[in-house]
Structure 1
Amino acid sequence: MTNFLVKTLANAAALAVAIWLIGDITLDEHGGTGQRALTLILVALVFGLVNVLVKPVVKLLSLPLFVLTLGLFTLVVNALMLLLTSWISGKLDLNFHVDGFWTAVLGGLIISIVSWAVNLALPDRN
Structure 2
Amino acid sequence: MKFISRLVSTLFGNAAGILAAWYVIPGFNLENPGILEIAVLAGALTVLNIFVKPVLKLLFGPLLLLTLGLGIIVINAFLLFLLDTWSENLTIEGVLPFAFGALVISAANILIHLFVK
Q: TM-score range by the shorter chain?
A: 0.7 to 0.9
1:89-115 deviation digits (Å, cap 9, x = unpaired): 13xxxx111112221111101111111
Residue in 2 that maps onto 1:84: 82
Aligned length: 114
TM-score (norm 1): 0.82
Give yes or no for contact 2:21–2:28 (8 Å, CA) kept in 1.
yes
In the alignment, structure 1 residue 61 sits paired with structure 2 residue 59: yes
In 1, the alpha carbon distance for the partners of 2:17 and 2:75 equals: 17
In the alignment, structure 1 residue 26 sits paired with structure 2 residue 24: no
Residue in 2 that maps onto 1:32: none
TM-score (norm 2): 0.88
1:51-109 deviation digits (Å, cap 9, x = unpaired): 1111111111111111111211111111111111111113xxxx111112221111101
Structure 1 alignment gaps of length 5 or more: 30-34
Q: What letter corresponds to residue 28 of structure 1 in structure 2?
A: E
Please show how residues 1-126 of structure 1 align to structure 2 within 5 Å: 1-29=4-32, 36-90=34-88, 95-121=89-115, 123-124=116-117
Percent identical across equivalent pairs? 32
Give yes or no for contact 1:28–1:36 (8 Å, CA) kept in 2.
no
User: Which has the greater radius of gyration?
Assistant: 1
Aligned alpha-carbon RMSD (Å): 1.5
Q: What letter corresponds to residue 110 of structure 1 in structure 2?
A: V
Q: What letter corresponds to residue 101 of structure 2 in structure 1?
A: G
Structure 2 alignment gaps of length 5 or more: none
Moved over 3 A (4+): none
